[in-house]
Amino acid sequence: MQATRTPDPARRNPDSTKAILEAALALARDEGWSKVSIEGIAARAGVGKRTIYRWWPSKGAVVLDAYVSRLQEAPYMSPEAAATDDLRADLVRVLNDTWNMVSDSLPLLAALIGEAQHDPDLAARLWERLIAPSSEPVQARIRLAQDRGEIAPDADPFRAAELIYGQIYLRLLVTPKALDEGFLEDCVDLSLRGLRVRP
């Protein structure tokens, strides 16, 4: 399930890439997922369809890359450089930084994950480019807290991130209840109850 079907992205024209990604995101948000097409993206970006098909195999792959390029602007905490003494506050900050980048386009993220259930290539890209990288700062901060003796040494940072993010994705995709900043804080608190070293 490796996403290796496209040529080296470093060889893309940066200006047309930017135009394509911005057009894809704008179309998806303005018109809704089902109205997005490669033709529509090409028209809005002022490029030919073949330019898009050269670099992306599907509309899902274009919209995903647009999403990823936005998330890369998020001020993710580097745990070595910016971790404070407050584990809870640092984890809440990571979640809020992501949240601020995606909260205006949650239906689009849900649509991408929905589409990935029918498209193994998109599923692999989604994991490798978006979901896995976005949980890495949480895992790094958990590891730092283990080094500092705050988190139980037997806790697996990957599973700890699943514990936190599972609650969030369940609300995004399934549960008709509020998904907001207060909920993000509660997800951190409920998860840390079981992860912290007991006094």
Output the smallest distance, CB 150 to its own copies, in A.
14
Amino acid in the structure at residue 163: L
Interaction of residue 37 with its own copies, rule CB under 8 A: no
Q: How far apart are CA 87 and CA 139, in angstroms?
A: 12
Choice from 6, 70, 71, 114 touching its own copies (CB under 8 A): 114
Interaction of residue 103 with its own copies, rule CB under 8 A: no
Residue with tokens 């893309």: 12
Interaction of residue 195 with its own copies, rule CB under 8 A: yes
Interaction of residue 29 with its own copies, rule CB under 8 A: no
* Binding range to its own copies, per CB under 8 A, among 22-30, 35-43, 140-148, 162-170: 162-170
- Residue with Cβ nearer its own copies (17 or 167): 167
Distance of alpha carbon 185 from the chain centroid: 18
* Binding range to its own copies, per CB under 8 A, among 11-19, 61-69, 72-80, 114-122: 114-122
Residues 116-155, one symbol each (x = binds its own copies by CB under 8 A, - = not), give xxx----xx-xx---x------------------------
Q: How far apart are CA 37 and CA 32, in angstroms?
A: 11
Residues 5-24, one symbol each (x = binds its own copies by CB under 8 A, - = not), give --------------------
Choice from 44, 113, 133, 185 touching its own copies (CB under 8 A): 113
- Residue with Cβ nearer its own copies (14 or 176): 176
Report which of 158, 130, 163 is spatially closest to residue 142, judged by C-alpha positions.
158
Q: How far apart are CA 193 and CA 64, in angstroms?
A: 34
Please report, as ranges, the residues that interact with its own copies according to CB under 8 A.
1, 33-34, 107, 110-111, 113-118, 123-124, 126-127, 131, 159, 162-163, 165-171, 173-176, 186, 190-195, 198
